[in-house]
Amino acid sequence: MFRSLMASENDLDRTNKLVLPRWEETNGIISFWGQFGWTVRVNNPEAVRTIMYKTDIFPKTSIFDDLKYKGLLTKFLGERNMVSTNAHEWRKRRKIANPAFHRSMPVKTFSVLTSRMFEQIEKADGPVDVQNLLQRFTLDAIGLIGFGFEFNATTNPDGDWVKAYNDVADNIGDFKYLFFPILDTALLGLFPERKKKHESLDRLDELMNQVIQKKKSEIAKGGSNVDDNEKDLLTLMLEAGQGDDEKEALTPEELRNEVMLFFLAGHDTTSNAMNAVLYFLAVNPDIQAKARQEVLDVLGDEPSDVWPTLEQFKQFPYLSKVMKEAIRLAPPISRLVEREVAKDTELAGIFIAKGTSIMIDVLSLHYNPKLWKDPTKFDPERFSEGGELESMPSTYAYLPFGGGARQCIGMNFSMAEQRVALSSILRKYELSLPEDSIHKDGIVFDCVTMTFATKKMMINFTRRY
């Protein structure tokens, strides 16, 4: 594992080389050396289901609570957030956030941001660097929809706040600082470039605190006349903590940590997912044509930009299958956050001792030939009614957003953002790969330790009108 990291292999390389060949002999439960020592890596669907539902035995790890110093990642996410907390503290945060995610579905904002993306596509001379463009698009989306802040990243990629955020986000997954956190804490003075990343995070923290205070003042004055479904998540979370639930309201620090979590979870993950969808559409013209026809049946084929309404964007069942299959092959994250076994237990017939670190391996589930037919093939029909996923012994072979009670709270939000943007793209453009694409013989993934991303993705956008 360590040699693989040193060689800059990606997570899929490691999955194919180290995990899947041993799947049957280990029953999908294998130990490896990770960031905090020996960890049990689980890719047995039934064992995964047990972990997801027995949260009293398999709570989220507390390892970060015990760290004396906080590295860039732990400073970014804060000491406590919805992903890392358990029991009452998790339920309190989820109770506040749930109404926000169920009420907010800002289709109009998604449409405005997509129109800005189109402006950048039109300016491109030749193939478009969609990875870079989509990262800017989703940064604008999470800024506006998360807490009502305008980054203008799509149109101005060199803005101060864009640079500050990217400076942090692009470097929190550096494996040497994750595996040797002392380099990022006590010995930080020896790494001046890394220290600058911490300074960028300090500036982001200042911005976040200003935004939270401003939102509180606006609500105290009566708020705005914006429809609930178009309000930003921070506003909805602040409103959810008022009235009868005021004693359960989140503190400014807790709000800051949750918004930063939404930032990290909703930015790169969504852009990576959309990037993968565009690739698979570009290399599968028959699937692209079928998805486009579905969009035209709903939105029409007039030679002008048309954006789906709140009702219409739900009417793309085939496009949804395409999106689901894309994130099977290129999941937003390659593994779920570690858990710590609370007491001696048994998992799939194997004894697991109290205190063991345990991690669910998403990639090994999605690429396992013992679970999926021809797993490397892109086939949206796997997700048809009565299709392959439904006929499996366990649906826990598919976990792009986790599962159980702690399934990603932003799943529907992310899928809605993608539906609006992708349907509009299909209406206006035909997609293809450049002849010299590094992905012409198959999608190529980058070496990252936080999310699962492709290497630089260039795509041709040919206008239909």
Partners of 351 in the β-ladder: 346
* Residues contributing to the annotated binding site: 408
* Residues contributing to the annotated binding site for heme: 408
Question: How far is C-alpha 110 from the geometric centre of its chain's CA atoms?
Answer: 17
Range list of H helices, 284-392: 285-299, 317-329, 362-366, 388-391
Q: How far apart are CA 451 and CA 331, in angstroms?
A: 8
Kindly state the helix (H) or strand (E) to which residue 68 belongs, with its residue range: none
Of 97, 91, 72, nearest to 255 by C-alpha is 97
The structure tokens listed for 212 are: 């939270």
Handedness of CA 111, 114, 115, 116 (dihedral sign): positive
Q: How far apart are CA 212 and CA 204, in angstroms?
A: 12
Q: How far apart are CA 121 and CA 254, in angstroms?
A: 38
The structure tokens listed for 135 are: 């990262």
Q: How many CB atoms lie within 10 A of CB 109?
A: 19
Question: Is 120 exposed, middle or buried (CB count within 10 Å of its CB: 0-12, 13-18, 19+)?
Answer: middle
Partners of 361 in the β-ladder: 335
> What number of CA atoms fall less than 13 Å from residue 353's CA on the CB side?
5
> What number of CA atoms fall less than 13 Å from residue 357's CA on the CB side?
17
Residue 370: what residue type?
K
Q: Where are the beta strands (DSSP E) in 251-390?
A: 339-340, 345-347, 350-352, 357-360
Sequence-distant (6+) residues with CB within 8 A of 194 are 72, 171, 177, 183, 184, 188
The structure tokens listed for 148 are: 């009502």
Residue 383: what residue type?
F
Question: Is 57 exposed, middle or buried (CB count within 10 Å of its CB: 0-12, 13-18, 19+)?
Answer: middle
Sequence-distant (6+) residues with CB within 8 A of 182 are 69
